[in-house]
Structures are given as structure tokens and as C-alpha cells.
Amino acid sequence: MEILPDDLQAYLNNHCEPEPEALQFINRETYLKVLKPNMLSGHYQGRLLSMLSKMIQPRRILEIGTFTGYATICLAEGLTEDGLIHTIEVNTEMEEMLKKHFSLTSVEKKIVPHFGPAEQVMADLQTEVFDLVFIDADKKNNLLYFEKILNQVRSGGIIIIDNVLWKGKVYGTEKDADTESFRKLNDSIAVDTRVEKLILPVRDGILLIRKK
């Protein structure tokens, strides 16, 4: 879902860093072979994630929701030389495709995939301290994941949550469960004094959070 008009989004795509060849392939393959391919981060959002990661230069990243690995690779581009990204995917049927996609890149060895329910995997990673976290999984649990991971994020670390404008519904009159879930998330973080926060109108909305 794109919040911005198509012509503006096209202009933005044409005036940012080009999409790497491996990611172009993953983009095409996702649209050819995977249900709900619009869940892919895509060119512009991917370059934003890559730039944020490069600015932070994280040693440890956590991604909740791997999908076809596009955002994983973008985030991994900014890792330190000894850095790792732990990425969690609940759908074990994605494992073969993800292995193929990661093998196309120079960051393959920095990616540690985990398969299973996010809460379970997060419990196994509870000794890690993260510089950057990207939450893009089952939407109803966004606030739960935020609360569970905040204590493992270093001071000054960044949490990014995707889809927070939810097709524009959060600022409309819709009352469905998913929309109300995003409203609760946004409203809760807006008043959370432990963090600084900013919503960016990129694609379906990105909530950028900095831990104080």
C-alpha cells in the first residue's frame, strides 16, 4: 500500500540510490511466486532502511518478520564488519527461498535466520543487546513485540515499526480490529516517555523510535 500518489512515489524512486541487482531479482521473484507480494518493502523503503542502518552502523539487529528477505538484506548493508542480523520468520516454507535470496548478496554470512513464533525466538535471544530493531510481522502483536524488546535495545538505539498508517485508516473513521490495533500502538508510543518517536509517511507509514 502506497500512501503517496504514484507520480510522487515514482519521482522519489528516481531520485534515491538505485535498487541493487540482487534486490531487483528478489522483488520480481516475490511478485511472481509469493502470496501478498505487496508486503515487500520495495525500492524506496528498502533504501531508507539501508541508509538508517548505515547511519547507525549497528553491531546487532533484530528483524521480526523476514518474508522474502528484502528488508533483511537492506538492513544488513549497514552492519559493522563483525555485525549480525537475527531475523525471525514464522513460515518455515520460506526457508528454501530465503536461503537462495541471501546467497545472492555480500551480506549472507551476517544474516542469522530463525524460524518459529516470534515470542519463542525472542526468548532464545534475550541475552542479546540490539542497536536496531525492525518490526514487520503479525500486526496485532506490534505493541507486544515493542514492549518485549525495548529493554534489550541500547540507549540511543532505534526501533522501526512498519505499516503504522495502515492504508490511511488510522486517521479515518474505520473501526475494524486491525485499524484499532494500529491506533492503540501509535497512541501508546506517542505518550511513552522512554522513547522519542516520529511517523514517516513512507509507503504504508514507518514509525521511527529512538530509545532515550
- Pairwise CA distance, residues 179 & 164, whole Å: 9
Name the strand (E) or helix (H) holding 18.
none
pLDDT score of 27: 97
Render each residue's pLDDT in the chain as its tens digit; 212 residues: 677 888 999 999 999 999 999 999 999 999 999 999 999 999 999 999 999 999 999 999 999 999 999 999 999 999 999 999 999 999 999 999 999 999 999 999 999 999 999 999 999 999 999 999 999 999 899 999 999 999 999 999 999 999 999 999 999 999 999 999 999 999 999 999 999 999 999 999 999 999 99
Whole-number pLDDT of residue 4: 84
Phi, psi of 126 (to 5 degrees): -70, -10
DSSP 127: T
pLDDT at res. 134: 98
Both ends of the chain: CA-CA distance in Å? 31
Count of helix runs (H) and strand runs (E) in the chain: 8, 7
Residue 1: its pLDDT value, please?
Answer: 62
Confidence (pLDDT) at 60: 98
pTM for the whole thing? 0.96
Tell me how many degrees the CA angle 124-130-134 measures, rounded to the nearest 5: 90
What is the C-alpha separation between 134 and 20, in angstroms, rounded?
21
* pLDDT score, position 3: 78
Q: Which domains does the chain carry?
A: 6-211 (3.40.50.150)
